């Protein structure tokens, strides 16, 4: 692990330079957490020195000696904290948890000391008031973002209010950490242990084999099911025992609500109220107003209007979707049967099989993970000419693979780490992040290329179905879509061509960041793409054309229900964060009211989504969950151009790379999208794709 940490943090930081800075790091006997601590502490020290040099510079403030100097300082700390938090998500342990808990308030105080530095803020303001005709578009965006960053971090507050801001942000950072740690602990500690094979009727042999291996890992007989997605989702879809489905569902839906050391109910209230207090202190009406100021949507009323527009379009279809599933259940359960939440996935899967004549789980043998990876990498080669080569370099876990990525001309494009399987020290879900963002230390008047820029190091992380003793990892179709989604984020990071890391890759407005990822999902049902990799892992037989036809036909299956589910999360998010008064309500009751207009199924009284809703509590999507649907509008409209010209059209792919993927946040996203599409985005493509229009 130490080798990995050093390789990521100090790969371009010569040890001689470190020593010249007075940095003496003994690593031979240091634990990984001790190494991280020393790097973070040294990084804070160096950044404060660098900031002080900028703030006390006797020269007249200029864009170069103030804005550029500021955006390029703190490199060691940035790398150290990036590695620390990435490992905290992907490979944590008790010692790392303790280190993050200890350093989080220290890092918040450190950030506040910089952003509340009055002399530094005055220099930034002075630069913003200068004529900027000689600045490039990217320079102007960086200047605007830097000035806004100081204002939004309390730099313009009175000394008294600055102290309040310090207290509130420190407390918020601690509560956000607690939320994540409790959720991971609660998810990991529940198991459904079954010893009677008869109770598991309906589950496939592959699912049973995986559950048996989980039991063996825990020293138990029989089968063990967990709340991790690769275990939970297929169980809810296939297990015929309704009482077991209910037991697992209740465990999942009531995580972190039991009044014990993992209870997040009060933590949710604290996080919501702290964010509101910070927003009010900074002069905003609500936290949503604060957050949306730097988003495409711009203000809360636009988000509410967008959500209501989708609700009006999808609600009738969503109700029809639920009615169809209930009628499916009544065929076998009787006319009086009423769907409960733990029934929906089971009978929806039955209906899908009946309507499209295939069992989704029967696709797994055609989606062997290594073949899917080759297919996804091959898609990027076909569209953009880039190639992936497995590399021998330090990684943080044996499951992780490293790839050297080369551009079409053979030049070095970046490094990709791929981490696919669940572990107890790894949070659930799937995500892309970076260990090093792309940037170029050259004059902004010079164009950036692979040769004159520092190339990125990105990581793609999932929680896919693990291989068993005699079966490789076989993915569900949904997992194939997830891989394409996260790979879209990965390409956004790898293709970055910016002068400044703060504007590079995925450093874009939050409601634009999902466009590249959701765009890639469109390829999941393209026959030409599937033909490149979807073969039976034992026989080599291609995925039958009838299955591909069924997949394409099923794209609109339950589209109304799925959209309403996403909208329910969006309405809940806005209910929490577009409020002018503190949240004093019971969190569970408040949630039920917020999601009432989208509710299509009965809700058990003790269920609570918010306490496990990491996206909006600890994951950066506060007042931003609508972004997924917002980006769906963009991705459907963008892909419609590929439909017009050919889904593998090289010229269209090159335009998408040049206009969207490589530009990062160097221009306003509306400008970038219109440059690619030739017009403003339209909702029509999404409605057509979902069969609504």
Active site residues: 486
- Contact of 152 with 282, CB cutoff 8 Å: yes
Q: Is 577 exposed, middle or buried (0-12, 13-18, 19+ CB in 10 A)?
A: buried
Question: How far apart are alpha carbons 60 and 81 in whole angstroms?
Answer: 32
DSSP code for 587 = H
Length of the chain measured in residues: 693
DSSP code for 433 = E
Q: How many helices and strands in the chain, by DSSP H and E?
A: 28, 7
Q: What angle is formed at CA 316 by the lines to CA 552 and CA 616, rounded to 5 degrees?
A: 80
Two tokens, residue 513: 């960041």
In this structure, how many other beta carbons lie within 10 angstroms of the beta carbon of residue 679?
9
Question: How far apart are alpha carbons 150 and 161 in whole angstroms?
Answer: 14
- Contact of 532 with 482, CB cutoff 8 Å: no
CA distances from 639 to 7, 309, 687 (A): 38, 22, 13
Q: What angle is formed at CA 386 by the lines to CA 385 and CA 392, rounded to 5 degrees?
A: 155
Two tokens, residue 310: 């989708």
- Contact of 662 with 495, CB cutoff 8 Å: yes
Do the strands 387-390 and 223-225 form a parallel or antiparallel pair, or are they unpaired? unpaired
Smallest CA-to-CA distance from 322 within 598, 683, 567, 628 is with 598
3-state SS record for 357-408: CCCHHHHHHHCEHHHHHHHHHHHHHHHHCCEEEECCCCCCCCCCEEEEEECC
Residue in this structure with the two tokens 């390789």, named with its chain if needed = 7
Q: C-alpha 508: how far from its chain's center?
A: 13
Question: How far apart are alpha carbons 513 and 490 in whole angstroms?
Answer: 11
Question: How far apart are alpha carbons 676 and 679 in whole angstroms?
Answer: 8
Question: How far apart are alpha carbons 606 and 246 in whole angstroms?
Answer: 13
Tell me if residue 461 falls in helix, strand or coil.
strand
Q: 582-613 burial string, b = 16+ CB within 10 Å, else e?
A: ebeeebbebbbebbeebebbebeeebbbbbbb
Question: How far apart are alpha carbons 478 and 176 in whole angstroms?
Answer: 29
Q: Is 651 exposed, middle or buried (0-12, 13-18, 19+ CB in 10 A)?
A: exposed
Question: How far apart are alpha carbons 182 and 614 in whole angstroms?
Answer: 11
DSSP code for 412 = E
Do the strands 457-461 and 412-419 form a parallel or antiparallel pair, or are they unpaired? parallel
């Amino acid at each position: 692990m130490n080798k990995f940490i050093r390789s990521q943090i100090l790969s371009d930081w010569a040890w001689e330079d470190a020593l010249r800075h007075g940095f003496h790091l003994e690593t031979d006997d240091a634990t990984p957490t001790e190494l991280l601590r020393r790097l973070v502490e040294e990084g804070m020290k160096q950044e404060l020195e660098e900031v002080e040099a900028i703030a006390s510079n006797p020269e007249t403030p200029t864009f170069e000696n103030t804005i550029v100097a500021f955006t390029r300082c703190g490199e060691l700390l940035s790398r150290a904290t990036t590695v620390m938090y990435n490992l905290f998500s992907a490979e944590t342990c008790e010692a790392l948890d303790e280190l993050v808990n200890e350093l989080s308030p220290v890092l918040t105080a450190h950030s506040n000391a910089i952003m509340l530095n009055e002399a530094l803020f005055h220099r930034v303001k002075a630069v913003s008031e200068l004529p900027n005709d000689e600045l490039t578009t990217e320079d102007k965006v960086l200047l605007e973002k830097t000035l806004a960053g100081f204002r939004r971090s309390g730099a313009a507050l009175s000394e008294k209010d600055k102290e309040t801001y310090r207290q509130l942000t420190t407390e918020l950072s601690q509560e956000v950490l607690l939320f994540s740690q409790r959720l991971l602990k609660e998810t990991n500690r529940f198991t459904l242990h079954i010893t009677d094979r008869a109770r598991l009727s309906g589950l496939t042999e592959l699912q049973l084999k995986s559950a048996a291996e989980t039991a063996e890992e825990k020293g138990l007989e029989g089968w063990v099911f967990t709340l991790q997605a690769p275990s939970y989702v297929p169980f809810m879809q296939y297990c015929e025992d309704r009482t077991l489905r209910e037991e697992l569902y209740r465990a999942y839906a009531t995580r972190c609500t039991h009044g014990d050391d993992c209870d997040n109910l009060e933590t949710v209230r604290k996080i919501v109220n702290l964010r509101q207090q910070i927003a009010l202190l900074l002069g905003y009406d609500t936290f949503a107003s604060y957050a949306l100021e730097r988003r495409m949507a711009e203000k809360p009323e636009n988000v509410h209007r967008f959500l209501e527009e989708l609700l009006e379009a999808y609600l009738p279809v969503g109700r029809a979707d639920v009615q169809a599933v209930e009628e499916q259940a009544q065929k076998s359960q009787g006319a009086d049967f009423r769907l409960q939440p733990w029934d929906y996935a089971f009978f929806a899967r039955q209906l899908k099989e009946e309507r499209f004549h295939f069992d989704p789980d029967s696709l797994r043998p055609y989606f062997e993970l290594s073949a899917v990876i080759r297919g996804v990498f091959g898609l990027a080669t076909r569209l953009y000419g880039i190639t992936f080569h497995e590399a021998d370099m330090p990684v943080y876990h044996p499951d992780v693979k490293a790839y050297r990525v080369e551009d079409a001309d053979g030049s070095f494009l970046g490094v990709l780490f791929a981490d696919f399987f669940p572990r107890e020290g790894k949070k659930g879900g799937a995500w892309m992040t970076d260990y090093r963002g792309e940037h170029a230390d050259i004059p902004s008047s010079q164009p950036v290329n692979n040769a004159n820029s520092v190339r990125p190091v990105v990581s793609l992380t999932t929680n896919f179905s693990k291989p068993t003793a005699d079966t490789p990892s076989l993915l569900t179709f949904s997992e194939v879509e997830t891989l394409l989604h996260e790979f879209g984020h990965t390409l956004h990071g790898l293709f970055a061509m910016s002068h400044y890391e703060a504007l590079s890759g995925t450093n874009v407005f939050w409601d634009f960041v999902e466009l590249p990822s959701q765009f890639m999902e469109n390829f999941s049902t393209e026959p030409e793409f599937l033909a490149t990799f979807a073969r039976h892992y034992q026989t080599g037989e291609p995925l039958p054309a009838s299955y591909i036809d069924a997949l394409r036909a099923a794209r609109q299956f339950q589209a109304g229900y799925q959209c309403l589910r996403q909208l329910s999360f969006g309405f809940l998010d806005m209910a929490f964060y577009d409020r002018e008064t503190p949240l004093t309500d019971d969190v569970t009751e408040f949630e039920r009211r917020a999601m009432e207009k989208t509710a299509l199924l009965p809700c058990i009284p003790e269920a609570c989504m918010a306490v496990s809703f990491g996206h909006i509590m600890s994951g950066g999507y506060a007042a931003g969950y609508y972004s997924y649907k917002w980006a769906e509008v963009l991705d459907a409209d963008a892909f419609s151009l590929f439909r017009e010209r050919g889904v593998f059209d090289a010229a269209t792919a090159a335009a998408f790379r040049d206009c969207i993927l490589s530009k990062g946040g160097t221009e306003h996203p509306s400008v970038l999208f219109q440059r690619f599409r030739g017009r403003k985005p339209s909702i029509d493509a999404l409605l057509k794709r979902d069969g609504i229009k």
